[in-house]
Amino acid sequence: MLKWLRNWREDRHLARLGWPDSAWENAVAGWSVAQRYQGEQRRLLRDTAVRFLMRKPIVAAGSMELDDAMRLLIATMAAVPVLGLNLDWYANWYTIIVYPQAFTPPGEVMDDYGIVHSEGHPLAGEAWHQGPVILSWNDIEHACHEDGYNVVIHELAHKLDMRHDGPNGAPPLHRGMDQAAWSRDFSAAWEELEAAVEREGEDSERLPLDPYALVNPGEFFAVISEAFFERPVPLHKRWPAVYKHLGSFYRQDPAETGAPH
């Protein structure tokens, strides 16, 4: 569909929906990351979240019941990673499915990239290549505590990563970004995290990043993207070069103001 036509239809739809700003404000009040965006950026965040809702149905599964406030919160979390990009970065997939809590995939399945999702292991979220994003509401609520976790950002970072050669930790970089420097600095951070896990143990509070990142480079990108938006200041301090690459990719500087640049 032509972009201007879609935008025009969305504008009309937006006007008809007539969500008061207060409904959005109430929906995101418990998520501190949203408070980082003020003024023009706040309007952009709200607008992007509502447009996201128009493009991607957020549907309930299992015994889940979703209301507008829950959908607005999920859509706002989804809007944050593309605030400096645009919603077209989420093209080619259509639905978010929300379970009440961590869900167990029905069986052992292998995706297009040979990644096996095994039976019996409950997941907080899952992103299928060109398919839906599946989330657990319990874990979304957990994202509102300030601990660096955010399952929505995690799964949507996978979606951005998948735009280039699948979920391999190498999303399509913008013109002028240095792929070799990206790989070098991400590899160095990976090795540091690996060494820290060996030294401190998997459960240590002193680890710079959730050790789940070490499952594969795709998980590393998703986990560090969560940290970039949820706990940007410690990430910037620990791995300034990686932070800078993420800032160039997402076109945001959350350690500073949260504003896209």
Least distance CB 45 / Zn ion (angstroms) = 24
Least distance CB 54 / Zn ion (angstroms) = 26
Cβ proximity to Zn ion, 25 vs 119, nearer residue: 119
DSSP conformation class of 123: B
- Is residue 96 classed as helix, strand or coil in its secondary structure? strand
Cβ atoms within 10 A of the Cβ of 182, count?
21
* Token pair in block for residue 187: 């590899």
Residue nearest to Zn ion (CB): 222
Cβ proximity to Zn ion, 219 vs 230, nearer residue: 219
Cβ proximity to Zn ion, 26 vs 130, nearer residue: 130
Beta strands in the chain (DSSP E): 58-60, 96-99, 109-110, 116-117, 125-127, 133-136
Give dist(CA 78, CA 72) in Å, integer.
Answer: 10
Least distance CB 158 / Zn ion (angstroms) = 6
Residues that bind Zn ion (CB under 5 A): 219, 222
Cβ proximity to Zn ion, 83 vs 222, nearer residue: 222
Spatial strand order of the sheet with 125-127 comes to 58-60, 96-99, 133-136, 125-127
Going by C-beta distance under 8 Å and a sequence separation of 6 or more, which residues neighbour residue 166? Answer: 112, 113, 129, 218
Least distance CB 242 / Zn ion (angstroms) = 18
Least distance CB 235 / Zn ion (angstroms) = 18
Cβ proximity to Zn ion, 41 vs 168, nearer residue: 168
